[in-house]
Amino acid sequence: MINTASVLLDGVSYGMLLFLFSIGLSITLGLMRFVNLAHGAFAMIGGYVTVSLVNLLGVPFLLTLPAAFAVSGVVGFVLERVVIHRVYREPELQQVLFSIGLAFAASALATIVFGPQQQPIALPSWLAQRISLLGVPVGASRVFLIGVAAVAAVLLVLLFNRTLFGARIRAAVDNRRAAEGIGVRVGRLFAVTFALGAAMAGLGGALAVDSLGLDPTMPFKYLIPVLMVVVIGGPGSIPGSLVASLVLGVVDTMFKYAVPDVGPFVVYALLVGMLLAFPRGLAAIRA
Amino acid sequence: MTAALESRNLAVRYGHFSAVGGVDLAIAPGARHALIGPNGAGKTTLVHALTGNVAATAGSVHLDGEDITHLAQPARVRKGLARTFQINQLFRSQTVLENVLLAVFERQRATRAFWRSATGDRRAIAEAREHIALVNLASLADQPVHRLAYGQQRMVEIAIALATRPRVLILDEPAAGVPTTESAVIFERLEALPREMTLIFVEHDMNLVFRFAERITVLVAGKVLTEGTPAEISADERVREVYLGRRGHHAA
């Protein structure tokens, strides 16, 4: 029973990481119709920022999280303004080829700079300890991770649904021409949105170093589950992505523990089943 | 006097096809100026080039004497050059009020922070309601725009354009797709706009043009054929030939 609870917590924390990894991709796909297979590279950037700051400069882990968020966001913004915005008008195949190339380049660059090995990270003692949650002993880092991701998710929903920034984004997606007609600089707005998605992935990458590890294959290792989240959750839907991430994370972790031989394949069966039942994703159910 | 909106030798070419071929326009402040011409004369392309929806191949555009040729459309909107489209461009899932409110917010952008609530600003809401009242839609302000009749949607688009506080407003066929009985209503609302606002409109219905325009520019094959008062235009033999043609004479 205790074991089940801790596996469940592992699943939720993995799901939260998937959410942070995928939300930017979901937003750029839903809003700009851009298939960005290089999105995982932003998670990798965030991971390396945290690892470098902690291991080389001795910066406290907690302070590296905003740094990972900011650096990934800035890289995302610059990349969008310099190259990626040119690809929006291209057909999907061009976008896929371009972005997968970008992912390979990022991976190769990471290998040159940091080497091919796994990056170790020493968490501060308050995160490395086990704490008791309702009588169940759990890793403090898991609880912390879930908390941070949950706060990020709530802030993101508020930003998109309640603020002027969100209203502008929704307007630009609804009718780009009309948005420009009232003076919205849609190009710059999309760059900021793209950067926000990259920053979320960077935060996820930084939080993931401890539980998922970090090496130059990062942009590819979680590409499949991330794409599954986007497909199941429905592109552009924040709540859809959150639910899909959590379901995927919990199911995957549960089956890997329970039946290690077939566990890893269960999520694919889940994907097929979901697509047969709801071809347009969870977000389309309510609509 | 500096023209409110001016184009000098403005041209838009697509490959070898010249849609607009060197147009000189000078629209006086406060004008009620119509652009007319047969189908394919380049009226809409000219409007696009004036407002920045398409890039000019050659020539320049000046707003109150300032060269705006190289500004993108959103930048021109902020300088006071707004437009409406031939086909409604609205945020269809939102209410009339939200549509207009967004334009009010966008204009105030410099003084506001992005995290501000989009629906909690009473002064902005009051202003948006004024624009809506001006186009006679006050009772429908809280309806989603897709529920409105087409002619009412056209009025919403005008209210949105007004919310950008334009000095120059270009209307591309403001009454297109609207029954004739309602199209005069739209023009009557336009006529009631402040006199200092410069209005330029493209319109096919000659009765409306001669009733509301104070000056008329006739475009043929991407070039200005002539410009003048409604009386001059209707008396012009060339205009009658290429444009009014066999449809007979339309008195002012």
Poorest-confidence range of A84-93, A94-103, A125-134, B48-57?
A125-134
For residue B40, give both structure tokens: 């394919």
Poorest-confidence range of A100-104, A161-165, B163-167?
A161-165
| Chain B residue whose CA is closest to A156 | B115
Is pLDDT at B250 greater than 60 in this prediction?
no
Please report residues of B whose CB lies closer than 8 A to that of A170. Answer: 91
| Chain A residue whose CA is closest to B105 | A164
Instruction: Give the count of beta carbons closer than 10 Å to the beta carbon of residue B92.
Output: 16
For residues B109-122, average pLDDT: 65
Of A163, A175, A182, the CB nearest to B106: A182
Long-range contacts for B186-189 (Cβ within 8 Å, ≥24 apart)? B186/B151, B186/B154, B186/B155, B186/B158, B187/B211, B187/B212, B189/B134, B189/B135, B189/B136, B189/B155, B189/B158
Chain A interface residues (partner B, CB cutoff 8 A): 159, 162-168, 170-171, 174-175, 177-178, 180-186
pLDDT at position B243 is 65
Q: Which of A36, A42, A110, A109 minimizes the C-alpha distance to A76?
A: A42
| Chain B nearest CA to A164, separation (Å) | 5
Amino acid in the structure at residue A277: A
Half-sphere exposure for A54 (CA within 13 Å, toward CB): 23
| Chain B residue whose CA is closest to A160 | B115
Distance CA B67, CA B1 (A): 16
**Confidence band, pLDDT 50/70/90 cuts, at residue A137:** confident
Which uninterrupted H or E stretch holds A211? helix A186-212
Poorest-confidence range of A136-140, A215-219, B226-230?
A136-140
| Chain A nearest CA to B116, separation (Å) | 6
Cα–Cα distances in Å, from A148 out to A8, A154, A263, B165? 18, 10, 28, 43
pLDDT at position A61 is 93
Burial class (CB in 10 A: 0-12, 13-18, 19+), B241: exposed
Q: Which of A14, A2, A3 minimizes the C-alpha distance to A141?
A: A14
Poorest-confidence range of A226-235, A237-246, B174-183?
B174-183
Which uninterrupted H or E stretch holds A131? strand A130-133
| Chain B nearest CA to A170, separation (Å) | 9
pLDDT at position A19 is 95
Long-range contacts for B180-183 (Cβ within 8 Å, ≥24 apart)? B180/B205, B182/B151, B183/B151, B183/B208
pLDDT (tens digit per residue) in A249-271: 998 888 888 888 877 788 888 88
Pick the residue of B44, B51, B77 with the most A CBs within 10 A to test the interface with A by mutation.
Answer: B77
β pairing state of B32-36 and B198-202: parallel
What's the CA angle centered on B42, arms B41 and B48, to 5 degrees? 160
CB contact under 8 A, B83 and A181: yes
Chain B interface residues (partner A, CB cutoff 8 A): 53, 72-75, 77-78, 82-85, 89-94, 98, 102-103, 105-107, 109, 112-118, 160-161, 163-164
Task: With beta carbons less than 8 A apart as the criterion, state whether A18 and A247 touch.
Answer: no
Poorest-confidence range of A46-50, A138-142, A205-209?
A138-142
Q: Which of B223, B220, B240 minimizes the C-alpha distance to B39?
A: B220
CB contact under 8 A, B114 and A165: yes
| Chain A nearest CA to B202, separation (Å) | 17
Cα–Cα distances in Å, from A124 out to A140, A194, A215, B66? 11, 32, 21, 60
Pick the residue of B54, B79, B114 with the most A CBs within 10 A to test the interface with A by mutation.
Answer: B114
Please report residues of A whose CB lies closer than 8 A to that of B89. Answer: 175, 177-178, 181
Pick the residue of A182, A184, A193 with the most B CBs within 10 A to test the interface with B by mutation.
Answer: A182
CB contact under 8 A, B74 and A186: yes
Cα–Cα distances in Å, from A157 out to A150, A240, A286? 11, 11, 17
Work out whether the CA dihedral B222, B225, B226, B231 comes out positive or negative.
negative
Task: With beta carbons less than 8 A apart as the criterion, state whether A203 and A24 touch.
Answer: no
Is pLDDT at A128 greater than 90 in this prediction?
no
What's the CA angle centered on B218, arms B164 and A181, to 5 degrees? 20
For residue A169, give both structure tokens: 């984004």
| Domain boundaries defined on chain A | 2-222
For residue A109, give both structure tokens: 């660059």
Q: Which CATH architecture best describes the domain B1-80+169-174+196-252?
A: 3-Layer(aba) Sandwich (3.40)
Question: How many cross-chain Cβ pairs, A to B, lie less than 8 Å apart?
Answer: 80
Please report residues of A whose CB lies closer than 8 A to that of B92. Answer: 174-175
For residue B108, give both structure tokens: 């105030």
Please report residues of B whose CB lies closer than 8 A to that of A171. Answer: 91, 94, 102
Q: Which of B81, B82, B127 minimizes the C-alpha distance to B101?
A: B127
- What values do phi and psi take at B34, rounded to 5? -100, 140
Is pLDDT at B247 greater than 70 in this prediction?
no
**Confidence band, pLDDT 50/70/90 cuts, at residue B118:** low
pLDDT at position A285 is 62
**Confidence band, pLDDT 50/70/90 cuts, at residue A191:** very high
pLDDT at position A193 is 93
Q: Residue A242 in 3-state DSSP?
A: helix
Is pLDDT at B136 greater than 80 in this prediction?
yes
Pick the residue of B48, B51, B73 with the most A CBs within 10 A to test the interface with A by mutation.
Answer: B73
Average pLDDT, chain B: 85
**Which of residues B169 and A169 earns the better pLDDT score?**
B169
**Which of residues B87 and A218 earns the better pLDDT score?**
A218
Is pLDDT at A72 greater than 80 in this prediction?
yes
Cα Dmax for chain B: 60
ipTM of the complex: 0.72
Of B84, B92, B109, the CB nearest to A174: B92
Please report residues of A whose CB lies closer than 8 A to that of B91. Answer: 170-171, 174-175, 178
For residues A121-128, average pLDDT: 86
CB contact under 8 A, B160 and A166: no
Q: Which of A38, A18, A40, A23 minimizes the C-alpha distance to A236?
A: A23
**Which of residues B243 and A253 earns the better pLDDT score?**
A253
B/e letters for B39-61, b = 16+ CB within 10 Å, e = fewer, are eebbbbbbbbbbbbbbebeebeb
Task: With beta carbons less than 8 A apart as the criterion, state whether B225 and B238 touch.
Answer: yes
For residues B176-198, average pLDDT: 85
Distance CA B57, CA B55 (A): 6
Beta-bridge partner residues of A130: A139
Is pLDDT at A58 greater than 50 in this prediction?
yes
Work out whether the CA dihedral A252, A258, A261, A262 comes out positive or negative.
negative
Beta-bridge partner residues of B60: B8
| Domain boundaries defined on chain B | 1-80+169-174+196-252, 87-165
Q: Residue B240 carries which DSSP code?
A: I
pLDDT at position A284 is 66
- What is the end-to-end Cα distance of chain B in Å, rounded? 28
What's the CA angle centered on B132, arms B126 and B137, to 5 degrees? 130
Is pLDDT at A82 greater than 90 in this prediction?
yes
* Strands (E) located in chain B: 5-14, 17-27, 32-36, 58-63, 66-67, 81-84, 168-172, 198-202, 215-220, 223-228
B199 Rama sector, left if φ>0, alpha if ψ -120 to 50, beta otherwise: beta
